[in-house]
Amino acid sequence: MAKKKRLRIAAVKTIPNVTHAGAQLKGRWPSIFHNEHPITLELGCGKGDYTLALAQKHPQRNFIGVDLKGARLWVAANKALDLELKNVFYIRANALDLAEIFEANDIAEVWIPFPDPYPKKPRKRMTAPRYLDIYKKICRPGAMFHLKTDDDVFYLFSIESLQQYGCTIHQNSTDVHSCPEVDDNVRITTFYESKHIATGLLIKYIEFTLPEENMV
């Protein structure tokens, strides 16, 4: 592991807008943000491209980015501090642990930009049923999900998985940047997304809500 990366992993533990112990903040999110604005969650936030862009566009919402990579969170958290964004927070955690970090109805919206497609491990994909079960435990009824991917197999898997689970798909596109109907927020382009586009890859997008029956 490069020295720079090791230093960032160590340093991220000291940044005030990051926690490694999200479960300790369960039920306390209004006090963390000092308001009760709706929370938007970004899963696999990486260096925080979406969290940061959305937070600047929507100051009356709170944004939480979740990722396992400490070095990436170091970049995201420091950018948020540099921009003086009070409505941004980051958690180093696995998405499978979200129900230990958030209570029912805590989350009003979810972004999942370019998750790992796990070509040989479908159950680890973030639109697999075990993840959808977790999202139901923390999201408000009607919470909107936004999924972006450059991977054809993951996109088709997600369509099938969401339909079988009973989700409502409101929009889906195999080339979102050529789709005039999508919201401007969807057109936010991450660092890696720009690289994908430059190589000729098309960006797929799915907007969906979870089935509201049996929401925890």
More confident residue, 28 or 216: 28
Query: Residues 128-148: pLDDT tens digits?
Result: 999 999 999 999 999 999 999
Assign 3-class secondary structure to the chain: CCHHHHHHHHHHHHCCCEECCHHHHCCCHHHHHCCCCCEEEEECCCCCHHHHHHHHHCCCCEEEEEECCHHHHHHHHHHHHHCCCCCEEEEECCHHHHHHCCCCCCEEEEEEECCCCCCCCHHHCCCCHHHHHHHHHHEEEEEEEEEEECCHHHHHHHHHHHHHHCCEEEEEECCHHHCCCCCHHHHCCCHHHHHHHHCCCCCEEEEEECCCCCCC
Does 67 qualify as catalytic in the annotation? no
Mean pLDDT of the chain, nearest integer: 92
Domains of the chain (ranges, CATH numbers): 3-209 (3.40.50.150)
Q: Is residue 10's pLDDT more than 70?
A: no
The whole-angstrom separation of Cα 95 and Cα 131 is: 8
Q: Which of 67, 116, 152, 184 is catalytic?
A: 116
**How far is CA 69 from its chain centroid?**
14
- 154 has a pLDDT exceeding 60: yes
Mean pLDDT of 95-110: 97
Question: The tokens of 56 are what?
Answer: 């600047």
Q: What is the pLDDT at residue 90?
A: 96
pLDDT digits (tens, 9 = 90+) for 166-182: 999 999 999 998 888 88
Q: Note the pLDDT tens digit of each residue in 27-59.
A: 999 999 999 999 999 999 999 999 999 999 999
Q: Quick one: pLDDT at residue 210? A: 98
